[in-house]
Chains A and B, each alone.
Chain A
Amino acid sequence: MEIFLVYLKVFAVGGALCALGQLLINKTKMSSARILVSFMLLGVLLEITGAFDYIREFANAGVTVPITGFGSTLAKGALEGAKEDGLFGAVTGGLKAASAGLASVIFFGFVFALIFRSRSKKI
């Protein structure tokens, strides 16, 4: 029963973020790159104000799977790096924390683009 509630909260918060993104698309005709950047920066903002931890405790993947999670990872890594290694950590911390996501998106992007041909002509 408890696990059901966890997944319900994930669904509600994740869905709400995506609906908010759709509202922005409908109202402002923003491109997907701008939407992604806005939500990533929202994640950075939530992380440095400390609000992200509270939302994550409540919503788990509902807030970490959306691109807000990527922004939060970058900001959290930078803050931890600054605390542990000074200026060097401040500069490297963000990329270090986000490296799993960045490395895998570039690696899979390269490999799948080599193997698969675009199907956009058929649509």
Chain B
Amino acid sequence: MIAKDAYKRYVEENSPKSPMWRSMIAAFVVGGLICMAGQGVHDGIAAIFPQMAEEEVGAWTTVVMILFGAFFTAVGVYDKLGHFAGGGSIIPITGFANSVVSPAMEYNREGIFFGICAKMFVIAGPIIVLGIVASVLVGIIGLFL
């Protein structure tokens, strides 16, 4: 039989060290790797189409990264990655794709109309709405610059 405070000390010593740092390092590594993949896609597109304008290369990179995010969500890999990486899988544009595809798949049994089409914006809705509101405000400010 061990004393109460000795047991408490034992638990503290043996519980996982600082989940705070562990989760931040996981987010850093996974997020950094996703961004490197994005740079790879960008450089690949620029190498295949050398005459393409830089902005168009950037737009295609976004499309390809969203396709990756949507696909790995659909096959169930991305959400497992999310358990491990947290912010590392949320912040990149692939996480934005995940936030659309994941609820859309979750609710597809409720039908195409109110299931997929309505529920796909459960998380992405605020991002799209606030993004567009911000862009219109910025545009109007831009008129006076």
Interface positions of A (Cβ within 8 A of B): 6-7, 10-26, 32-37, 39-41, 44, 47-48, 60-62, 64-67, 69-71, 74-75, 77-79, 81-83, 86-87, 89-91, 93-95, 98, 100-102, 104-106, 108-110, 112-120, 122-123
**Cross-chain contact of A41 among B35, B73, B130, B132 (Cβ < 8 A):** B130
Of residues 90 through 117 on chain B, the ones whose CB sits less than 8 Å from some CB of chain A are 90-97, 99-102, 104-106, 108-109, 112, 116-117
Chain B, interface SS category: helix
Q: How far is the CA of A116 from the CA of B73 in the complex (A)?
A: 10
Task: Tell me if B104 and A18 are in contact (CB < 8 A).
Answer: no
Most buried by A among B20, B38, B138: B138
Contacts of B127 in A (CB 8 A): 33, 36-37, 40, 67, 70
Which residues from chain A contact B70 at a C-beta distance below 8 Å?
105, 108-109, 112
B67 vs chain A, min Cβ distance (A):
6
Name the A residues within 8 Å of B65 (CB-CB). Answer: 65
Interchain residue pairs with CB less than 8 A apart (26):
A19-B87, A21-B86, A23-B24, A26-B24, A32-B90, A36-B90, A36-B123, A41-B130, A62-B32, A65-B61, A65-B94, A74-B138, A86-B143, A90-B139, A93-B135, A95-B135, A98-B131, A104-B66, A108-B66, A109-B101, A109-B120, A113-B108, A113-B120, A118-B108, A120-B79, A123-B80
Given known A-B contacts A70-B93, A112-B104, A21 and B87 have beta carbons under 8 A apart? yes
Residue numbers in B under 8 Å from A20 (CB-CB): 87
Is B52 part of the binding interface, using a Cβ–Cβ cutoff of 8 Å?
no
Q: What is the CA–CA distance of A95 and B132 in the complex, to the nearest angstrom? A: 7
- Of A26, A109, A117, the most chain B CB neighbours within 10 A belong to A109
If A19-B25, A65-B94, A98-B131 are given as contacts, then 19 extra A-B residue pairs at C-beta distance below 8 Å, sorted by A number, are A10-B32, A10-B35, A14-B32, A14-B34, A17-B91, A18-B27, A19-B31, A19-B88, A25-B87, A26-B20, A65-B93, A78-B139, A79-B139, A91-B140, A106-B120, A112-B73, A112-B74, A114-B112, A117-B105
